[in-house]
């Protein structure tokens, strides 16, 4: 646990130090939906994967190079449910060279840390814990007020019965 905490601290400190430039930002609020997989273990330790739809909300700020997002996600499939809240930091790798009518493609890499609440009513398991992980995606900026975001997010959990959570996510953000 100490190694994980130190690793997370080093990642976010590095992101903070390299992101120290002036942050003239645009704020955004959005909704997201995705298809996720949760890898869990039952009471006797047998691994089990559950696939299903997740949905959530997000808000944050971004500039030309960086984006910070706070988001919440809900997953409910049969007897397995989770809610996770995460804080993510993304670095835009480059902007597309194709610019027409203010349309831009911006791929990104990021890291996140957060909290996960897991319930498996079939196995009578209910637990909470921290999660951390990474994400990769692309933002497609349409008009001046909207952008679409397609990403893959992978999280590792410290909960005994949950190994990892992975999901493909599509989001619509309103920029203001």
Quick check: 36 and 166 in contact, CB under 8 A?
A: yes
| pLDDT interval class at 38 (50, 70, 90) | confident
Residue 74 β-bridge partners: 55, 83
CA 5 to chain centre: 18
- pLDDT of 136 > 80? The answer is yes
Q: Residues 32, 150: contact at Cβ < 8 Å? A: no
Minimum mean pLDDT range among 10-19, 75-84, 124-133, 135-144: 10-19
% of the chain with per-residue pLDDT over 90: 47
Give the per-residue pLDDT at 1.
58
Domain total in the chain: 1
Average pLDDT of every residue of the chain: 84
Beta-strand relationship, 66-77 and 80-92:
antiparallel
Please, are residues 111 and 7 in contact by the beta-carbon 8 Å criterion?
A: no
- Measured distance CA(110)–CA(62) in Å, rounded: 13
- Domain extent at residue 96: 2-175
What CATH number did the domain enclosing 165 receive?
2.40.160.20
């Amino acid at each position: 646990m100490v190694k994980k905490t130190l690793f997370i601290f080093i990642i976010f400190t590095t992101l903070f130090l390299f992101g120290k430039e002036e942050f003239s930002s645009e704020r955004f609020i959005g909704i997201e939906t995705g298809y996720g997989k949760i890898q869990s273990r039952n009471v006797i330790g047998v691994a089990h994967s559950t696939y299903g739809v997740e949905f959530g909300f997000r808000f944050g700020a971004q500039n030309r190079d960086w984006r910070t997002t706070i988001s919440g996600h809900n997953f409910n499939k049969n007897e397995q449910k989770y809610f996770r809240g995460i804080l993510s930091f993304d670095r835009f790798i480059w902007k597309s060279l194709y610019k027409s009518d203010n349309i831009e493609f911006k791929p990104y890499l990021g890291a996140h840390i957060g909290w996960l609440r897991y319930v498996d009513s079939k196995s009578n398991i209910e637990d909470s814990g921290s999660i951390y992980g990474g994400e990769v995606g692309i933002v497609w900026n349409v008009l001046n007020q909207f952008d679409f975001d397609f990403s893959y997010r992978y999280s590792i959990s410290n909960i005994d019965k949950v190994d990892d959570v992975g999901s493909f996510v599509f989001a619509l953000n309103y920029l203001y």
